[in-house]
Amino acid sequence: MAFIQPYSAQPYIRSSGEWVPDESRSPKTKYTIFWSDGELWMEAHRYLAERRAKSETIRSNANDLRAYADWLEANNLHWLHFPIRREDRCLDRFRGYLIKTSSGTSAVPSRRMNAVVNFYKWAKAKGLIDKQLDMWEDQQVAVTFFNPTGFQRTAGVWTTDLRIPHRKTNITTLEDGLLPLSAVDRDILLAYLKRKPSEQNTVLHAMLTLGFFTGARIGSIRSLRIENLLNAIPDPTFTPEPTHPENLLLLVAAGPGTGIDTKLDVAGNLRFLSAIHNFILDYAQTNVTRLKRQAKANKEDKSHVFLTKDGKPYSEGSVNTAIYDLRKALVRDGLTQFHDFKFHQSRATCGTELARLYMTNSDADAIEHVKDWLMHKDARTTWTYIKFLKSTKTARKVNMAFTNQFLGPNFS
């Protein structure tokens, strides 16, 4: 299989006629793609290196191109396979494959096709593909949207006939189109990991504990260091119950300058209940497996809370692989409700439970607190949690009434 390799790219500037590292700018994570035999896909490497977009977007593009490379190798095709018959061309065949294997509601086929087409557009603009070659037909489609004042507008957008339309699911979802776990399933999952303490499960148990009870993103969890935990301070606005004065809420600074990565470089605090803080700190300082991995780590990586068996900080890919293995084990052991579990659902679960609690006061109170807790840059993201809880509450009432009215008299 083709694979992705991340690397650190240091920006350079021209100074006194020479190129020198720009010390005022921090290195950026870039991605490159290798074929299964280890050969670099040079064109994809150049494309990803030249992309001017957010790191999350470039990583997503790299994953989509890697999936395309896998498909090309599986079908023994070159990425420049464009015979006269369109149905035999690599892009048209890949589009057919994506449609055939799609679940129907997933946005992945549409996004993946779009990412691949954008790569070919770049390659054609760079002269890597004959400019006379018609790989697709351009089309104009109407897109409806609402402007900031709430009025509906329609704009014409150019696309290609390779586009895969995506009809959104009619299920209300949260961030990244995910659904939260119930509190019961959350506890079942954590208990399963604790009951089967392999090295990988022990790490996942600690990571998911953070996800479920702090709402931290995986990027923040992967970059968390011991010194971040040691520098935690009590939240001055939190008052513990008189019977349990030790139950504090601790703030761990996150964002630029802290070493903890956040989406869109939002500055704020991760919030730890003291029991969660103590559990993670104890894991970092006393867990035998972690200490063995720390011994293998480079000096600059030793304080990372989470280290791989090679003593390196976890990458997003290594976490995804661990979650994939976990899903297979869960289904094998009869816990089929986790067949499509994603790590980010731990964050969605935390946000949902927080919103449920704060909504007992008011929606405005819930938006304010959940936005701060989850470090949302935009309150519109927070509002999806309120909308989700309201819609599911209404749905439960309607479903109960429907059942009582239509099924009760005939099937009771």
Tens of pLDDT, residues 302-319: 999 999 999 999 988 889
Torsion on CA atoms 383, 385, 391, 394, rounded to nearest 10? -110
Share the mean pLDDT of the chain: 87
Q: What is the pLDDT of residue 319?
A: 92
Q: What is the pLDDT of residue 204?
A: 97
Tens of pLDDT, residues 286-304: 999 999 999 999 999 999 9
**Global confidence as pTM:** 0.66
Phi-psi region of 146 (alpha: psi -120 to 50; beta: other; left: phi over 0): beta
The residue type of 177 is: G
Q: Does residue 192 register a pLDDT over 70?
A: yes
Token code pair at residue 97: 């494959």
CA 309 to chain centre: 23
CA 217 to chain centre: 8
Instruction: Spell 111-122 as b/e; 16+ CB within 10 A means b.
Output: bbbbbbbebbeb
**When comparing pLDDT for 390 and 148, which is higher?**
390
Bridge-partner residues for 380, per DSSP? none
Distance of alpha carbon 373 from alpha carbon 355, whole angstroms:
10
Token code pair at residue 85: 């018959």
Q: What is the pLDDT of residue 402?
A: 47
346 vs 213, 262, 341, CA distance in Å?
Answer: 8, 16, 9
Torsion on CA atoms 304, 308, 313, 318, rounded to nearest 10? -140
Q: Does residue 23 register a pLDDT over 90?
A: no
Tens of pLDDT, residues 44-62: 999 999 988 877 889 899 9
Q: What is the pLDDT of residue 316?
A: 83
Q: What is the pLDDT of residue 158?
A: 62
Bridge-partner residues for 173, per DSSP? none
Tens of pLDDT, residues 73-89: 999 999 999 998 989 99
Indicate the burial class of 369 (C-beta count within 10 angstroms; 0-12, 13-18, 19 or more): middle
Please compute the mean of the pLDDT values over residues 176-192 and round it to a whole number. Answer: 92
What are the helix (H) ranges across 178-273? Answer: 183-195, 199-214, 218-223, 226-230
DSSP 67-101: HHHHHHHHTT--TT---SSGGGSHHHHHHHHHHHH
Q: Helix or strand or coil: residue 140? A: strand
Query: Who contacts 44 (Cβ-Cβ below 8 Å, separation ≥6)?
Result: 32, 33, 65, 69, 119
Tens of pLDDT, residues 339-365: 999 999 999 999 999 999 999 999 999
Q: Does residue 406 register a pLDDT over 60?
A: no
Q: Does residue 152 register a pLDDT over 80?
A: no
Instruction: Spell 6-34 as b/e; 16+ CB within 10 A means b.
Output: eeeeeeeeeeeeeeeeeeeeeeeebbbbb
